[in-house]
Structure 1
Amino acid sequence: MHDVVIVGGGPVGLFLACELRLAGCEVVVLERQPQPDTPWKALPLGMRGLNAGSVEAFYRRGMLSALGVEDDPHTSPRGLSHVAGMTMDHTKVTLTTLPTPALEGVRTSLEEVETVLSERADKLGVRIERGVVVDALAQDDDAVVARAGERVYRARWLVGCDGGRSAVRGLAGFEFAGTGPQLTGYTALTTIADPEKLNLGFTVTPQGMYLRTPIGGHIGLLDFDGGAYDRSQPPTREHLQAVLRRISGTDVTLTGVHLASTFTDRAMQATTYRRGRVLLAGDAAHIHSPLGGQGLNLGIGDAMNLGWKLAATVHGYAPGGLLDTYTTERHPVGARILDWSRAQVAVMRPGENAPALQGVLRDLLATGDGTTYVFERVSGLCNRYDVGSGHPLAGRDAPDFSLEDGTRLGELLQEGRGVLLDFRGALEQAARGWTGRIRRVAGPARDDLGLDAVLVRPDGVVAWAGEPGEFERAAGRWFGEPEAARQVALGA
């Protein structure tokens, strides 16, 4: 019997598999597609942006260099973000809440992300089976059974990472609630006879929005038809040209369409991310329009949050209720992203009031405060979990503290364990009970923010910061009882 079966071998499923295997869990990934390669994952159609939160996740697991990025992400942000088709000027961003967060966005592709994660999964010993379509699920108090034709997979836990049309979500009976579509979106690789008639980048018009990138004939369209065209019929050259002409207000000509697909702005979310021994992550748990490129980043955040909690549950040292904090922490984050997506659609929706609303937003983006607010939303830096502490750092993404020898916190988190930064050296005795779960590092930092110590969870979130006398309570809340007490409780 496996510890965990993951259904879905995309970036979220692979990231989660690596997290679980790093913690010593036995994992198998079941992916329905027989081959990983597809034009939809490669550039330009597979273009994606990793936000600050995702960059931190890759950095804290030592994978940035594999993505072609230096392993030090502490630089100024680049202009990878937009809101409602309006590009942000990142030079206006001012962040004062946390020192040296990873502000560097990374432009990449699904193909590259999956390649990096697949190679890591292979190195860690994750078993990946392709061409497997799960068609039945059953669970009891002890295990989950997944069936794929005649093949049977039995595990203690199962996680659905199988996308917006998740089979796991339906088979396990999750409720999926939200709002219906207002638009049909198109993404296509075309041949444009007269590309000079179209602006580069995002262009919002009275009829919708279009995107032209510098890569070949890659275009994107948002047509406010109530989602009527989505999957109703193939997007032909004639249809795409007609929509593009109407939205752009030009007589541009498409001489060929090589690949094309449609999507909508449905904004739906599972009401809980756990039912018994089945959990959801990524698009299986929430879907929304691709505006702002939040889907991949939201899913990576899910995997980073869930991995260590599920591993602790598998190994039997998780404190009571730890696994349920996955839903209580990540569900509100997903809900905010869905609302962010809805807000952008509202701004772009054609109508006599749209220009006024767009003008207000442009005015806000012309200010430092307005741009900083938007950047914090799209980067994930505004997230704060309730970790039971009122300290300003508690529940937030940890600053990348640099010790006197130059070692950074991000490097210390690569093992996937919690980290105790004991700046004053007062917690050696208290930390011994969690030696296998928390790595204690003693000594001063170049900037300790005036703190005695900081406890950081494996996902990089500050679990506690403050005076030494509060450490044991915080450690017990997130990492379970000290080992000696646990052995006594188990009758060892």
Structure 2
Amino acid sequence: MQTQSSNLQSSSPYDVVIAGAGPVGLFLACELRLAGLQVLVLEQSQDPHSALKQLPFGLRGLSIPTLEAFHRRGLLEDIEAAQRLASGAIKSAAHWMQQTRRPAGHFAGIQFYQDNIDVAKWPWRLPTPADAGVAVDMETLESVLAARASRLGVEIRRGFGVDAVAASDEDVTVQAAGETFRGRWLVGCDGGRSTVRKMRGFDFVGTDPEFTGYSVEVELADPDKLSLGRNYTPTGVYTYAQRGTIAMVDFDGGAFHRTEPITPEHVQKVLRRVSCTDVTITALRLAATWTDRAYQATTYRKGRVLLAGDSAHIHSPLGGQGLNLGLGDAMNLGWKLTAAIRGDAPADLLDTYSRERHPVGAQILDWSRAQVAIMRPTPSTRALQAIMRDLIETRDGASYFAERVRGVSLRYDPGGSHPLVGRSVPDFELLDGTTVGERLRTAKGLLLDFDARSPLQALASRWSGRIDYVADDARDRLGLSAVLVRPDGFVAWASDGAADEEEAAQAASRWFGESAARASA
């Protein structure tokens, strides 16, 4: 993939400084480099490797919006290739992949299954490589993204944790590891305890934890005393996989998280209480704690400083939503920040990042809280679980939960009357053999003109360099005549009849700024 050269002249050495070289920071860096921007990534950890990023604890499922984003940037093939190499290890690490029915996800551990999902409820979807379920470990995902970032020319400095931040109206100064760096913008992708967020005084509000969660790898003297899979008990929840891998939840109000060393004696005490057995631990190989604390920044932007990923929102890892939420932030922010730096963005374009992504984050936090509520070890909660199991086993129930968990229901509110506006664009297969996903790899907008109307071609030419015009029919156009697509793959305007060029022009102006012709007038 080639990068486009930037014609910007800046007094700052970098267009964007990103704090954090996790998946969100690396993916955002790749997005910015597609436009030729100068990007520096500062990462506190010297070594990117960690046992908690590897299997089994590093296993993550990728949602449909995440897979679509990777497909639209040509990353999905790399991730799938890396995933295939580890497929055997992934299957053994995920107890749910060994079931006879193909699971499609879960809500608070209550599974729903692929054979129960009614995809007819999703009329704006077409077959796409992004429909394939992909599970990947965090270390593999980070290595793929880091390799792509390096090929694109992103500068990554490890062992450079942010120590101080100063921002003006023109740029941001960052001190890290005794050095000073300047950028036109700073994006904090430095995790739930974000230094950038704290130093810039972002309000961070939410709900405190109800439990301490444990992820441990142990040797057991009597492993048969534990039941494989996910288990609800009168005192908590535990999931036991082969090879002594255990995840458990202790409803202690989060009291133990990061307060004391995690010892074998403590883990055994909690495991016995949660499992209601007298199981004995003979060795503790690996242990980490986590909670269901759910907090969110009230805004994702303050001046020239922005937040993405866990820096902007934290919640329990139940359901694996956090990684996908952060990668969605990066996909939404990348093209908008690029346009702001290029100087051709509408005045409020960058503010739409927080306006669009904050409600998505808030919804995920509530989704996480709802799962915690149904996991509490009380008789009333157990009764509610039984009702939920009945509902989730129905076709409508499984379809609803699949839509939420997979991210199919994601829709922004960019304005416009057509029901496709604000949704992810279907992966139309054009008659020339290409797909919309492939056409989006340059990170430009697209104007799909299925009827090859010359007025739409003229409209696209007014935004030359920002919108690619495609005059070709699709094998299944879903009754549409034309679609305007943002660089992140979300629909800005659509028509299913005679194309309204004026409405299309208004949408283009809203998302891509002044036309080139008007700007040069």
Bin of the TM-score, shorter chain as denominator length: over 0.9
Question: Which of 147, 154, 168 is the matching residue for 2:196?
Answer: 168
Q: 2:319 is paired with a residue of what secondary structure? A: coil
1:409 aligns with: 436
1:334 aligns with: 361
Give the Cα–Cα distance (whole angstroms) in 1 for the partners of residues 45 and 403 of structure 2: 35
Give the Cα–Cα distance (whole angstroms) in 1 for the partners of residues 166 and 132 of structure 2: 43
1:449 aligns with: 478
Q: CA offsets, 1:365-397, max 9 Å, x none? A: 111111111111111111111111121100011
| Aligned partners of 1:51 and 1:104 also within 8 Å | no
Give the Cα–Cα distance (whole angstroms) in 2 for the partners of residues 207 and 85 of structure 1: 16
Determine if the alignment matches structure 1 residue 420 to structure 2 residue 447: yes
Determine if the alignment matches structure 1 residue 12 to structure 2 residue 36: no
- Counterparts of 1:92-111 in structure 2, within 5 Å, are 92-95=116-119, 96-97=121-122, 98-100=124-126, 102-111=130-139
| Aligned partners of 2:213 and 2:290 also within 8 Å | yes
Give the Cα–Cα distance (whole angstroms) in 2 for the partners of residues 57 and 254 of structure 1: 43
Give the Cα–Cα distance (whole angstroms) in 1 for the partners of residues 112 and 234 of structure 2: 21
- Counterparts of 1:268-417 in structure 2, within 5 Å, are 268-417=295-444
2:231 aligns with: 203
1:472 aligns with: 505
- Counterparts of 1:208-223 in structure 2, within 5 Å, are 208-214=236-242, 216-223=243-250
1:243 deviates by: 1.4
Determine if the alignment matches structure 1 residue 50 to structure 2 residue 74: no
1:80 deviates by: 4.9
Give the Cα–Cα distance (whole angstroms) in 1 for the partners of residues 110 and 208 of structure 2: 24
Q: 1:196 is paired with a residue of what secondary structure? A: helix
- Counterparts of 1:184-195 in structure 2, within 5 Å, are 184-195=212-223
- Tell me whether 165-174 or 240-249 shows the greater mean CA deviation: 240-249
Give the Cα–Cα distance (whole angstroms) in 2 for the partners of residues 447 and 68 of structure 1: 26
Q: CA offsets, 1:343-365, max 9 Å, x none? A: 00000111120111101110111
1:477 deviates by: 0.7
Q: CA offsets, 1:232-261, max 9 Å, x none? A: 212211221221122222232221111111
1:435 aligns with: 464
1:194 deviates by: 3.0
| Aligned partners of 2:24 and 2:189 also within 8 Å | yes
| Aligned partners of 1:49 and 1:80 also within 8 Å | no
| Aligned partners of 1:86 and 1:202 also within 8 Å | no
Q: 1:358 is paired with a residue of what secondary structure? A: helix
1:152 deviates by: 0.9
1:74 aligns with: none
- Tell me whether 216-225 or 202-211 shows the greater mean CA deviation: 202-211
Question: Which of 67, 85, 90 is the matching residue for 2:114?
Answer: 90
2:208 aligns with: 180
1:58 deviates by: 1.1
Counterpart amino acid of residue 249 in structure 1? C
| Aligned partners of 2:216 and 2:287 also within 8 Å | yes
Counterpart amino acid of residue 42 in structure 1? Q
Q: 2:388 is paired with a residue of what secondary structure? A: helix
Counterpart amino acid of residue 459 in structure 1? D
Counterpart amino acid of residue 173 in structure 1? G
Q: CA offsets, 1:76-106, max 9 Å, x none? A: x962521111122121111333222633321
1:165 deviates by: 0.3
Question: Which of 477, 489, 500 is the matching residue for 1:460?
Answer: 489
| Aligned partners of 1:452 and 1:468 also within 8 Å | no
Q: 2:517 is paired with a residue of what secondary structure? A: helix
User: Residue 242 and residue 70 in structure 1: after superposition, are their counterparts in 2 closer, same or farther (change >3 A)?
Assistant: closer
Gaps of 5+ in 1: 72-76
User: Residue 367 and residue 69 in structure 1: after superposition, are their counterparts in 2 closer, same or farther (change >3 A)?
Assistant: farther
Q: 2:254 is paired with a residue of what secondary structure? A: coil
Q: 1:40 is paired with a residue of what secondary structure? A: helix
Counterpart amino acid of residue 18 in structure 2? I
Give the Cα–Cα distance (whole angstroms) in 2 for the partners of residues 247 and 235 of structure 1: 16
Give the Cα–Cα distance (whole angstroms) in 1 for the partners of residues 79 and 227 of structure 2: 30
Give the Cα–Cα distance (whole angstroms) in 1 for the partners of residues 82 and 435 of structure 2: 14
Question: Which of 15, 19, 22 is the matching residue for 2:34?
Answer: 22
TM-score where L is the length of structure 2: 0.90
Determine if the alignment matches structure 1 residue 258 to structure 2 residue 291: no
Return the structure number with greater helix share.
2
| Aligned partners of 1:207 and 1:350 also within 8 Å | yes
1:68 deviates by: 2.4
Q: 1:250 is paired with a residue of what secondary structure? A: coil
Give the Cα–Cα distance (whole angstroms) in 2 for the partners of residues 80 and 42 of structure 1: 22
Query: Identical aligned pairs, as a percentage?
Result: 56
Determine if the alignment matches structure 1 residue 151 to structure 2 residue 163: no
Counterpart amino acid of residue 337 in structure 2? L
Q: CA offsets, 1:394-414, max 9 Å, x none? A: 001111111123211111111
| Aligned partners of 2:43 and 2:158 also within 8 Å | yes
Q: CA offsets, 1:131-160, max 9 Å, x none? A: 012111111111111112431111110000
Give the Cα–Cα distance (whole angstroms) in 2 for the partners of residues 127 and 232 of structure 1: 36
| Aligned partners of 2:159 and 2:177 also within 8 Å | no
| Aligned partners of 2:344 and 2:512 also within 8 Å | yes
| Aligned partners of 2:257 and 2:289 also within 8 Å | yes
1:125 aligns with: 153
1:128 deviates by: 0.3
| Aligned partners of 1:45 and 1:189 also within 8 Å | no
Gaps of 5+ in 2: 1-11, 84-100
1:119 deviates by: 0.5
Give the Cα–Cα distance (whole angstroms) in 2 for the partners of residues 114 and 78 of structure 1: 27
Give the Cα–Cα distance (whole angstroms) in 2 for the partners of residues 70 and 464 of structure 1: 36
- Tell me whether 136-145 or 199-208 shows the greater mean CA deviation: 199-208
User: Residue 438 and residue 200 in structure 1: after superposition, are their counterparts in 2 closer, same or farther (change >3 A)?
Assistant: farther
Give the Cα–Cα distance (whole angstroms) in 2 for the partners of residues 197 and 483 of structure 1: 70
| Aligned partners of 2:82 and 2:140 also within 8 Å | no
- Runs (4+) off by over 4 Å: none
Q: CA offsets, 1:438-463, max 9 Å, x none? A: 11111110111221111111111111
Give the Cα–Cα distance (whole angstroms) in 2 for the partners of residues 124 and 362 of structure 1: 47
Give the Cα–Cα distance (whole angstroms) in 1 for the partners of residues 313 and 505 of structure 2: 36
Give the Cα–Cα distance (whole angstroms) in 1 for the partners of residues 253 and 145 of structure 2: 37
Counterpart amino acid of residue 19 in structure 1? E
